[in-house]
Amino acid sequence: MKKFLKYFLFAFVFVLLQVSLNNIVNTVANKETFAASANYVEKERQFPIPMLVKTEQISPNQIQISYDRDVDMKLGTKATNYWIQDTINVIPKGIATLGKNDKVNARNSLTDSNVKIESKNGSAKTFVLTFTEDIPSGAEYKLVICYVTVEGAPPYSGDNGTATFIGR
């Protein structure tokens, strides 16, 4: 009986010690997570992410886009930050660089050879995408924008929004 009690007491102390140490580790991890989260919130306040708010076709080969805030002009006019997804066809047609099931990646973005992106009247909020070919009438596309930040912000690896449009 003494032997059993000794083993039981030893096991109880061991379990109690494990639980205590685990709580200390979790507390440290939570403090680190909180600090990282607070840092993210501060950066988000300091460098808000621009989001797409409007897309419209303004000519047979042009669409005009608007962001909710001024963007870094170099990033706003960089073709490789934009994708056009064909929402109907598996293999992209017309101005599309993505088929309906494709995912965005560096190899299937727009390029300087198929689109020119310019600020509208010097605005850092509104841009015109001029394609080298007309947008097919009735074709349905989704514009996808990624990696655009406000001026002076650190690199951003997320999206800035999407918008569906139909060629006129």
Give 68-101 pLDDT, tens digit per residue.
Answer: 999 999 999 999 999 999 999 999 999 999 999 9
Residue 150 three-state SS: coil
- Lowest mean pLDDT, pick from 1-15, 104-118, 133-147: 1-15
Going 69 to 121 to 81 to 132, the CA torsion angle's sign is positive
Q: Where are the domains of the chain?
A: 1-46, 52-166
Rounded to whole angstroms, the Cα distance separating 122 from 106 reads 28
Rounded to whole angstroms, the Cα distance separating 63 from 136 reads 13
Rounded to whole angstroms, the Cα distance separating 142 from 130 reads 16
Q: pTM for the full model?
A: 0.74
Structurally, at CATH architecture level, domain 52-166 sits in Sandwich (2.60)
